[in-house]
A and B are shown apart, each in its own frame.
Chain A
Amino acid sequence: MATTRDYEPNVVLSNQDYNVVGTRPLRPDGADKVTGRALYGADFAAAGLLSGSVLRSPHAHARIKSIDTSKAEALDGVRAVVTSADFPQGGEGPVVWQRDNVLASDKALYRGHAIAAVAAASPHIAEEAVSLIEVDYEVLTPVTDVQSSMKGDAPILHDSLMTDELGEKADKASNVASHFQHVKGDVKAGFKEADVVIEREFTTKTVHQGYIEPQAATALWNNDGRLHIWCSTQGSFAARDACARILDIPVSQIRVVPLEIGGGFGGKIDVYLEPVAALLSKKTGTPVKLVMSRADVLQGTGPTPGSYAKIKIGAKKDGTITAAHAYLAMEAGAYPGSPVGAGAMCVLAPYDLENALVDGYDVVVNKPKTAAYRAPGAPNAAFAGEQVIDEVAKAIGMDPIDFRMKNAAKEGTRQVHGPTFPRVGYEEVLEAMKSHPHYNAPLDGPNQGRGVAVGFWFNIGFDSACNIAVNADGTVTLQEGSTDIGGTRASIAMQAAEVLTLPYEKVHPTVVDTDTIGFTAVTGGSRTTFATGWAAYEAAQDVRTKMIDRAAQIWEVDADTIELEDAVFKSKSDPELSMTFAELAGQLGRSGGGITGTAAVSPSGVGGAFAGNIVDVEVDPETGKTEILRFTVVQDAGKAIHPSYVEGQMQGGAVQGIGWALNEEYYMSDSGTMDNVSLLDYRMPTSLDLPMIDTVIVEVANPGHPYGVRGVGEAPIIPPTPAIANAIENAIGTRLFALPMNPAAVAKAVMDK
């Protein structure tokens, strides 16, 4: 499995050097994380802490007729029991859905749906108490896949849900929450011009983010009425706001303290345990901790949709794509809100098309309410789109990278949903793929195949804040509110250090709670290094300006005659006037007082990211087992602030994609039960299943960011499933149209050939 390398496995194609940005310092929370000292959600302890446990519905679809908690309350050691009746009632639509998802009110809409919760003296007592709660269910027929749910005879989940059909509300209940369309040009005419037209259908199954740390939260509803929450979350402000909405209290009444988080990938943005722990704490007057089991995580949080797609692409013999039609239907889970919208924005993004049409359907099913999973919606769409692209390229006899190059989206290309691309690095990604040693290495055995695919993610901006204070010894402290899932304390501190011309080690970042920093949006959406980094950049500029003003005051010169370079303030005209950052810092106290800098930003110059994969596979035709022989990820990061952590995002996303491609799925029984509800049978890749993941970071600076940053976290998960499908097709001569492409499916494809 090991490949010998005569090339550099991880490369940064950089054309802009900085002092700190672009280097690879050690992360500031490193000592805590390699010694077990770092405190994650379940590690939190407090005096008087009670343990909670949640009762979850065994039925995928049922009306809840009554809940009898008396036996649970009577059990020795139990201190409180709550149901949705303990929430403030009222409201409609999304507010109710969010509240109902946390604790079901009139209906259980998926197996695993939380029904009630207990606080007790120990986790084992709480677990026993939960088993004593008696619920009278009227069991209903479930529907658990998108195509069945769209049919007229499907069991209806919400009597009040009527399809928003291209902006018009329908008049009868449906499981289709909405249908939207993006239209560009005239696809009918475009297909007529094509020499080759290929149309294929694809399905994908529900998969989970698979973070190793289950959700955990502790709540204390204090005697002064303030609610304190300690939790693992991707967004302490998002958690605060969600709890405020569900508990119907002002946000100022809540303080969320983010603990370290053991993986999220989008799945720890929504709240599940926090409002429940809050209710229990309100009843008991003590802190209450809830920690999910792995089964709870798989059944009671937010996986990503199963989906159906139909893609039709037409092209001329010279390689020009003349039309593309993407039909995407995605499962929202129990309540509306699948990521089909995002998928629709990305499926055709790599292509400069004159004629394109995207239909998107958001469909509810009796499964957990879906949540974001790393570029949500886009991998499902790419599994489909990038395979049809591959087939069209083959049909006209063109190299798959050349075909993509011929139709490449670039600056000025108008996307099907409206916006025009600013400067993007897609062509550069394709060039790096084409010239990579991997793409030019021979395959050396039977049943081997190579596949390529690309993907795009738009990335987001939104609000971040940052405070910086100067210490008398010339170091600075930096407070920010972005929970650190992948090394962002470092990338944020590095941007501040760059502005202040300080070495990285002189910036001490901390992630603080919602009482201690301005509003900061989630650590997700590939925004953290971009937006919170920008806040750090602005706060550092604020400090820099104030320090220069102070030097000007001390030297009695104009501020605009002073510059800061290599941590030294000096006069542009008088070489005698010079002092180090540390020297000035030491004088602040007696020259007017300390200096702090602050910023609250919501930057608009977001840069999208293109990624590409090259993968070699070997298939055992008798067993269908697919071995990944070699994997290369190429991605435009704009500017890799900390290249090691950018590589880490690329490698991690690639491996999640590999698991999605080859094995991961919710194996659903007819009754709507997930049979494989453990990490034994929900099969994520182990170290033995993989080779090294080689990376090439392309840097086409995002003109909208001071250092050119483009978000990197999400794009990597988009190309793997189609790249692997394309590789398998080249290995065995048959294409697979359903995920996962597990051994049974591949063996069957070989046998059916």
Chain B
Amino acid sequence: MPGKTYVQTNINGEHVDFLCEPRQSLLECLRDVIGLTGTKEGCNDGNCGACTVEMDGRIVTSCLVLGVEAEGKEITTIEGIADGSTLHPIQQSFLENAALQCGICTPGFIVASKSLLDQNPDPTEHEIRFWLANNLCRCTGYDKIIRAVQDAAVKMQEA
């Protein structure tokens, strides 16, 4: 019976180590092994973005990353976006702009939006839509999500 692999990684600023089978995706490891269930599975083939995390400064769909590939990486999940008990401006903006209805896509959108604003603090509407095209939402029609990101961009620049 083949054995598990020991992986050491950094998640949300903390050293984390875990055991997993090579066939387990990073998404599976986050949810089922480490217990961080904030990252969601919607399709398991990279098409919906619900499993978005940031890995070494780039957003990726964690369903298409193997858990063993997390070795030595710096990963940010939705659980690491807030600053302690203070919501990130993007999280606050999503709430104020009613940019979530069922909320299942929200963690993926927040991680992806934060990545956008980190790189491009003043994006146009088109740039926001292009950046977020890998994240599907079925509830909102995206309108309020785009407005929430625009709003957060303004607030973050004022800060």
Contacts and interface: CB of A to CB of B under 8 A. Distances in A.
Q: Do chains A and B touch in the complex (CB under 8 A)?
A: yes
A212 B105 contact: yes
Contact of B95 (A34, A260, A679, A690): A34
B107 interface: yes
A211 B139 CA distance: 8
A43 B77 contact: no
A608 to B, nearest CB: 23
B38 interface: yes
Interface centre among A1, A34, A265, A648 (most CB of B within 10 A): A34
A163 to B, nearest CB: 36
Contact of B104 (A212, A647, A654, A684): A212
Contact of B45 (A486, A647, A679): A679
B129 A688 contact: yes
A45 B32 CA distance: 9
A299 to B, nearest CB: 14
Given A2-B126, A262-B40, A686 B136 contact: yes
Contacts of B60: none
Interface residues of B, number: 62
B17 interface: no
Interface string B101-144: 11111110010000000000000111011101111111111111
Given A35-B82, A485-B102, A213 B42 contact: yes
Contacts of A541: none
Contacts of B50: 212-213
A596 B12 CA distance: 44
B100 interface: yes
A655 interface: yes
Contacts of A27: 95, 98
Contact of A263 (B139, B142, B144): B139
Contacts of A38: 103
Contact of A33 (B106, B145, B146): B106
B142 A690 contact: yes
Interface in A16-45: 24, 26-27, 29-31, 33-40, 42-43, 45
Given A212-B42, A648-B144, A487 B136 contact: no
A441 interface: no
Contact of A294 (B44, B91, B139): B44
A39 B38 CA distance: 8
A262 B102 CA distance: 5
B48 interface: yes
Contacts of A89: none
A294 B42 contact: yes
Contact of A213 (B28, B47, B104, B140): B104
Contact of B140 (A42, A45, A651, A684): A651
A212 B136 contact: yes
B123 to A, nearest CB: 12
Interface in A256-284: 260-265
Nearest to A654: B141
B143 A645 contact: no
B39 interface: yes
Contacts of B16: none
A652 interface: yes
Contacts of A211: 102, 104, 138
A693 B134 CA distance: 20
A524 interface: no
A679 B81 contact: no
Nearest to B37: A43
A26 B96 contact: yes
B50 to A, nearest CB: 6
A671 interface: no
A514 interface: no
B43 interface: yes
A39 B95 CA distance: 18
Given A43-B31, A210-B138, A487 B132 contact: no
A487 B159 CA distance: 30
Given A27-B95, A652-B139, A36 B145 contact: no
Interface string B85-96: 001000100111
A35 B104 contact: no
A746 B87 CA distance: 47
A656 B138 contact: yes
A690 B43 contact: no
B79 interface: yes
A442 B125 CA distance: 23
Interface string B24-56: 100010010001111111111101101000000
A222 interface: no
Interface in A173-219: 209-214
B71 interface: no
Contact of B38 (A37, A678, A690): A37
Contacts of A26: 95-96
Contacts of B146: 687, 692
A124 to B, nearest CB: 6
Nearest to B142: A687
Contacts of B48: 212, 679
B135 A687 contact: yes
B11 interface: no
A36 B87 contact: no
The 10 closest A-B pairs by CB, nearest first: A36-B38, A262-B104, A655-B141, A644-B98, A33-B103, A36-B78, A651-B141, A679-B47, A43-B37, A486-B101
Given A264-B102, A655-B141, 12 more contacts: A33-B103, A34-B91, A35-B78, A40-B40, A45-B35, A212-B105, A213-B102, A485-B101, A648-B98, A648-B140, A655-B140, A686-B132
9 contacts: A27-B95, A35-B81, A36-B39, A212-B48, A260-B102, A260-B104, A687-B132, A688-B132, A690-B143
Interface of B: 21, 23-24, 28, 31, 35-45, 47-48, 50, 77-79, 81-82, 87, 91, 94-98, 100-107, 110, 124-126, 128-130, 132-147
